[in-house]
Amino acid sequence: MSAILADMPKTDASKTGAPATTKAIAPSKGGRPWTFYVLATLFVFYVIALYGPMFCIYVLSFQDIRGGLVFPMKGHSLHWFVDLFTQVRTGDVKGSFDRSIKLAVIVTVITVVVSFLAGLGFRKRFRGDTVVFYMMIGSLVAPGLVLGLGTGLLFQALGLNASWYTSALGAQLSWTLPFGVLVMFAVMSRFNHVWEEAAYDLGASRWQSIRLVMIPVLAPGLVAVALFGFTLSYDEFARSLQTAGSLNTLPLEIWSMTLNVTSPSLYALGTVTTIVSFIVIGASLGSIVLIQKKRGSSAKG
């Protein structure tokens, strides 16, 4: 449509020799309709509302030793970052960060593997498939705090100790798995089953067709599932609260710090965790781009 509109003035002008009449149909080069400015303003407000609050935290974390919890800025240094990792009174940041990363990695691996297998399973209809599907969605809509509480109680009833790598892992999976499977369904819907048939026709075993055809074709989608799993686990709070046991994950640690730490260390922690998140997201997106670029370049070379 836009191509048609763009072409029309040209032919008009060449016929009539009066380019002025074209203004009514389409704006001249470089000009934009007034709606553009309205929407652009709206977008700017949206971005400020989204990132403004976080930006305050990041800025305040770079104050020097005189720094407080509110503006104005008092000097600038990395003091509070050093404080964060050296002072005991700020809490077990390093330990909880460690646990959160480990937990997120375990959750990611399980989510990717199980979602992929579920994706394979749901390619064909089977008896009770809708029941299985809705049960899965059910755990997604169940309130996280209640689910965490229930998991904690169940562990207690069974006489098991709650800990981040058992009960919290389970509680988090109840959150990441349905998400992962839903993303996987979307990814799978673009996989043409004829590719599998072609692989079988050419003599590939089931395993070879998964390894050499399915996984490489689906790789960008699998990275997306992994990213989902990681980020959902890394900042999970509600389900971990009652299930993490005696050792905190990072979000729990931050929460307890908000109750007793009154220095910009807290903000420094916010900055560090955000950086980690961005690194993970960047690495994931980078790997997707790399996969596609590799295909493109091997195609050219």
Partner 1 sequence: MKSDRGDIELAGVCKSFDGATYVVDGVNLKIADGAYCCFIGPSGCGKTTILRMIAGHEDPTAGEIVIGGQNVVGLAPVQRRTAMMFQSYALFPHLTVRDNIAFALRVRGMSKADRLRAADAMIEKVRLTQFADRLPAQLSGGQQQRVALARAAITEPRVLLLDEPLSALDEQLRVQMRQELRRMQQDLGITFIHVTHTQLEAIALADLVVVMEQGRIKQAGAARDVYAHPHDRYVAEFMGGQNVLSGLVEKVNGSTFTLAQAAPDGIEVPLQARSTVSVGDKIDIAVRRDDVALVRPGRELPPGCTTSLPSRVLAIEYQGYFVKVMLDTVPDDAFVAYVPEKVFFADPFTVGDVVMATWATGSALPLA
Binding status of residue 17 toward partner 1 by CB under 8 A: no
CB of 212 to partner 1, least distance (A): 7
Q: How many CB atoms lie within 10 A of CB 55?
A: 11
Helix (H) / strand (E) containing 58: helix 34-60
CB of 68 to partner 1, least distance (A): 55
Binding status of residue 27 toward partner 1 by CB under 8 A: no
Binding status of residue 20 toward partner 1 by CB under 8 A: no
Interface map 176-215 toward partner 1 (x if CB under 8 A): ----------------x-xx-xxxxxxxxx--x---xx--
Query: For residues 58 and 269, what is the distance between their CA atoms, to the nearest angstrom?
Result: 9
Instruction: Count CA atoms within 13 Å of residue 142 on its CB side.
Output: 21
C-beta closer to partner 1: residue 53 or 301 = 301
C-beta closer to partner 1: residue 213 or 241 = 213
Binding status of residue 124 toward partner 1 by CB under 8 A: no
Query: For residues 4 and 190, what is the distance between their CA atoms, to the nearest angstrom?
Result: 31
Tell me which residue of 191, 172, 149 sits closest to 235, measured CA to CA. Answer: 172
Binding status of residue 53 toward partner 1 by CB under 8 A: no
Binding status of residue 156 toward partner 1 by CB under 8 A: no
Q: CA dist 73 to 67, 215, 239, 271, Å? A: 7, 51, 36, 16
CB of 219 to partner 1, least distance (A): 8
Binding status of residue 32 toward partner 1 by CB under 8 A: no
